[in-house]
Amino acid sequence: MRIGVYAGSFDPITKGHFDVIKKSLKITDKLIVAVMNNVNKKCWFSLEERKRLIEILVAEFGEKIEVKNFDGLLIDFMKENKAEIIIRGLRAVSDFEYELGYAFVNHDLSYGEVETIFVPAAREYMYLSASSVREAATVGARLDIFVDERIIDIIKRKADSLKG
């Protein structure tokens, strides 16, 4: 069974992330969406909240997708979950240069057991980022072009609660 891992902070999950998830199902037997706890990022949503947002969206895929939280090295997470494919979404050319470096590091750290596959985001999501979603939510702009309608109200409530 080919198990892939798509890791990120997903704060919040965007239509671009969801596009990469759907495309990844074509190249894996099972996909684990790994929600990272990145201490260098100040996230809007807690780890559990981010996991729940993703679970809402991927429920339609049943057991083909599992959502897990993780902290630490991605290679260790891969080994614990018997995964051998890292899925990385690409937007602009600048993403490729950054991600390629990580692909080589992960390949070396895994003694060649793990490969990275780059999945380009759909054209309409090339410049979409979670930070642009947060910014739009903060000023009350429309979110339907950035995130799935099933999670818009949750994001709006979070933005309102952070305004104080």
Q: What is the pLDDT of residues 12-31, one digit of tens each?
A: 999 999 999 999 999 999 99
> What percentage of the chain has pLDDT greater than the value 90?
88
Q: What is the dihedral of CA 100, 102, 42, 151, to 10 degrees?
A: 60
Residue 16 lies in a domain: yes
Do the annotations mark residue 163 as ligand-binding?
no
10 annotated as a binding-site residue: yes
- The pLDDT assigned to 4 comes to 98
45 is in an annotated binding site: no
Is 109 labelled as part of a ligand binding site?
no
- Position 93 pLDDT exceeds 90: no
The reply, when asked if residue 129 is annotated as ligand binding, is yes
- In a domain? residue 145: no
Q: What percent of the chain has pLDDT over 70?
A: 99
Between 86 and 92, where is the model more confident?
Answer: 86
The reply to whether 131 sits in an annotated binding site is: yes
Does residue 130 fall inside a structural domain?
Answer: no
Query: What CATH number is attached to the domain comprising 105?
Result: 3.40.50.620
CA atoms within 13 A of residue 107's CA, in its CB half-sphere: 10
Tell whether 73 is covered by a domain: yes
**Residue 138 domain-assigned?**
no
For residues 2 and 36, the answer to whether their CB atoms sit within 8 Å is no
- 61: in domain: yes
Query: Three-class SS string for the chain?
Result: CCEEEEEECCCCCCHHHHHHHHHHCCCCCEEEEEEECCCCCCCCCCHHHHHHHHHHHHHHHHHHEEEEEECCCHHHHHHHCCCCEEEEEECCHHHHHHHHHHHHHHHHHCCCCCEEEEEECCHHHCCCCHHHHHHHHHCCCCCCCCCCHHHHHHHHHHHHHHHC
Q: How many domains does the chain have?
A: 1
- Give residue-wise pLDDT tens across range 105-133: 999 999 999 999 999 989 999 889 999 99
Flag whether 31 is in a domain.
Answer: yes
Span 152-159, average pLDDT: 97
What is the domain extent for residue 106?
Answer: 3-122
Please choose, from the candidates 151, 155, 141, 145, the residue with its C-alpha nearest in 3D space to the C-alpha of residue 43. Answer: 155
For residue 151, tell me if it sits in a domain. Answer: no
Binding residue per annotation — 50?
no
**Start-to-end CA span in the chain (Å):** 48
Ligand-binding annotation for 126, yes or no, is: yes
Enter the pTM of the model: 0.94
